[in-house]
Every structure is written in C-alpha cells, then in structure tokens.
Amino acid sequence: MQSEKVINALTIDVEDYFQVSAFAPHIPRSDWPARECRVERNVDRILLMLDQHGVKATFFALGWLAERYPEVIRRIVAEGHELASHGYGHERASDQTDAAFFADINLAKLILEDLAGQEVKGYRAPSFSIGAKNLWAFDCLERAGYRYSSSIYPIRHDHYGMPEAPRHAHVIGGLLEIPATTLRFLNRNWPASGGGYFRLMPYGLSRWMLRRVNHSDRLPAVFYFHPWEIDSEQPRIPGISAKTRFRHYVNIHHMEARLHRLLGDFRWGRMDELFLANV
C-alpha cells in the first residue's frame, strides 16, 4: 500500500553495462560497437514494470545509444515518459574541457529531440560528475538550451560528490539543479537516491530514508537506477578490482523485485512535471 502523499521523481539513466565509468580502464571506447548491447531488452522490462504500476518516469538517455536504438527512444516517449539527456558518449563532465563538454551535451540534445519530436529539457552528468571544480558546466548547459540538471550529488564519494551543495532543487544561473536525494542525519548527508546504495542496503532501510525525506523535508525525493542493474545475466568483465566488482554486481539479482516494492510503496512521477511546473 502506498503510504506517501508526496510524489517523488523516478529516473532511469539509460546506459549499457559496458559504458559504466568504472569499467573505462578495461573496456576501450573503440570496443563499444563490438560489445553485446543489452539495453533494448532491459528498457523493455522497465517499461513493462512501470506500466504495471501506472508510473511515469524520466529517462536520461545517451545519444550514442539513441543513434543505434532509436526505437527504444520512441517507445519511451510513446508511453508517456519524459526523455532527458545523459550526454552523448558517457564521458565524465569533470574529465572534459568546456568546449568538449558543450559539444557532447549539444549533440545529445539534437539527436534525442530529433527522435522524440519534442523538447529535451533535462540533463544528468555521467557519474554525477559536476561539482565544485567544474561549475562552468552549468553555463554550457544553459547555452545548449537545457532547462534543468540533475548532476550534483551532495555526498562524499571517492569518484564524485559535492557535500556542501544544497540538498534540494535550487537555481544556478538560469538553470534549475535538482540533486540526487540525500538524508540529513547525524550532521552528514547520506545517500538515499538509489543506484548501488539501493542494491547494497536492506530494502527497509532505503524505504525508511525516503519516507523520512518526504516527512521531514516535505519535498519530492529523486531516485535513480540503470537498466543494467536489473540484468543479472549481463557479461562479467574480467580484470576489474574486487571493489569495482562488488559495487557493480552486488545484489543485482534482487534489484527488479526491490523496484517492484518501491513502485508500490511510494508515488512517482516525471522530473519535468514535478519541478518545472512553477518555474
């Protein structure tokens, strides 16, 4: 039974298993076209799951995948979900110059809008790679015509994070930044938005954190996951470290069942409808 009156934002970062940033040292970008691509079947499973629960969501899609699987993009839009941008080639914003970053996000927007036949308003940086050292990225996003971003994670992490950032939606220049959700507890921000943390923690703890955010802050939470996280049969990548292997594969076989519980326990909606209506 749904116990929350707050409508939260459900988001999916549409990338395939071989495009994960942690695998970059082991899978050259030049090898991507030769890899088995599993995103079509996984997105189809997600769309079916959302339909079963009557949920609309926001899909942050890679331009690289959209070019190769345009029907995936068209199905997302046809079923009433928001299409947003995850950039073109899943390159971390923090690893690019401002010119390269602008070229990446602008190309992705053009490709996605051409396929969808509608405006792409939102962007999420791969691996939440906008932080204190590259806030210039927001100028690029505004110049490319985006209206909002969900690219800052206000936590401490070894690969990303900006713990001093505001925890909820705020304006940066002419853009609305909508951070991944954290719970403020014991003088620290704790991750409460999905991804690997959702697979690692007991489901009850994740549910408690989201409920606490809804009750205490009285604001929508932003939850995210990836299509590859429901794919327990994806190819295993050899040579990766034990830490990377644990982070990527932990509890992956339980993920789909947990998502069904999550969709039933909370109310969910699209990013644009929840955050842009009064902007």
The answer to whether 22 and 245 are in contact (CB under 8 A) is no
Confidence of residue 157 (pLDDT cuts 50, 70, 90): low
pLDDT of residue 3 exceeding 70, the answer is: no
- The amino acid at residue 170 is H
In the predicted model, what is the mean pLDDT of the chain?
A: 94
Confidence of residue 176 (pLDDT cuts 50, 70, 90): very high
Question: Tens digit of pLDDT for each residue in 20-41?
Answer: 999 999 999 999 999 999 999 9
Report, as an integer, the average pLDDT of 203-231. 95
Return d(Cα 198, Cα 61) in angstroms, integer.
Answer: 21
Report, as an integer, the average pLDDT of 36-52. 97
Return d(Cα 177, Cα 193) in angstroms, integer.
Answer: 15
Domains of the chain: 7-275 (3.20.20.370)
pLDDT of residue 258 exceeding 90, the answer is: yes
- The amino acid at residue 209 is M
The strand pair at 267-269 and 7-14 is best described as: parallel
- Whole-number Cα distances in Å, 231 to 13, 63, 93, 174: 14, 21, 27, 38
pLDDT of residue 1 exceeding 50, the answer is: no
Report, as an integer, the average pLDDT of 154-165. 74
pLDDT of residue 242 exceeding 70, the answer is: yes
pLDDT of residue 263 exceeding 60, the answer is: yes
pLDDT of residue 181 exceeding 70, the answer is: yes
Q: Which residues are registered as beta bridge partners of 190?
A: 183
Nearest CA among 143, 141, 84 for reference residue 112: 84
Return d(Cα 80, Cα 70) in angstroms, integer.
Answer: 16
Confidence of residue 46 (pLDDT cuts 50, 70, 90): very high
Give pLDDT, residue 2: 53
Question: Tens digit of pLDDT for each residue in 58-110?
Answer: 999 999 999 999 999 999 999 999 999 999 999 999 999 999 999 999 999 99
Confidence of residue 186 (pLDDT cuts 50, 70, 90): confident
The answer to whether 87 and 125 are in contact (CB under 8 A) is yes
Report, as an integer, the average pLDDT of 246-251. 93
